[in-house]
Amino acid sequence: MPNLSIKEADGAVVFAAKIVPGSSRTAVCGILDGMLKVKVSAPPQKGRANQSLIELLARQLGVRKNAISIISGLTRPVKQVQVCRISADKLLQKLNLNK
């Protein structure tokens, strides 16, 4: 299984996510080219897909929504996501991406 490319600093992790909006369901699909691939049912309009991504990650990681931010790529399919108050190991464990 390919590895998710994660940067860890100051009690937060940053990783790339490839978002596929308008899917039939919202779910983490795995890793694609070092990025977390996520399908969201929300359309890519008015930030709905971004909001859906944040809600999914908050639920799966057990953190508050305000601990997650999209730091780049707001209008693009590939985004840089920052999650505060979590380690890289815990992130992989919670997303069931451990080796």
Note whether residue 45 is domain-resident: yes
Note whether residue 50 is domain-resident: yes
Note whether residue 15 is domain-resident: yes
| Spatial contact of 73 and 21, defined as CB atoms under 8 Å apart | no
Q: How far apart are CA 2 and CA 34, in angstroms?
A: 7
Note whether residue 13 is domain-resident: yes
pLDDT value for 99: 56
Q: How far apart are CA 75 and CA 73, in angstroms?
A: 5
pTM: 0.93
pLDDT value for 2: 66
Q: Which two tokens stand for residue 57?
A: 């990650």
| Spatial contact of 19 and 70, defined as CB atoms under 8 Å apart | no
Number of domains in the chain: 1
Q: Which two tokens stand for residue 58?
A: 């908050």
Q: How far apart are CA 8 and CA 23, in angstroms?
A: 30
Note whether residue 43 is domain-resident: yes
Q: pLDDT tens, position by position, for the chain (99 residues)? A: 468 999 998 889 999 999 999 999 999 999 999 999 999 999 999 999 999 999 999 999 999 999 999 999 999 999 999 999 999 999 999 998 875
Note whether residue 92 is domain-resident: no
| Spatial contact of 16 and 36, defined as CB atoms under 8 Å apart | yes
State which residues form the domain around 21: 6-85
CATH number for the domain harbouring residue 44: 3.30.1200.10
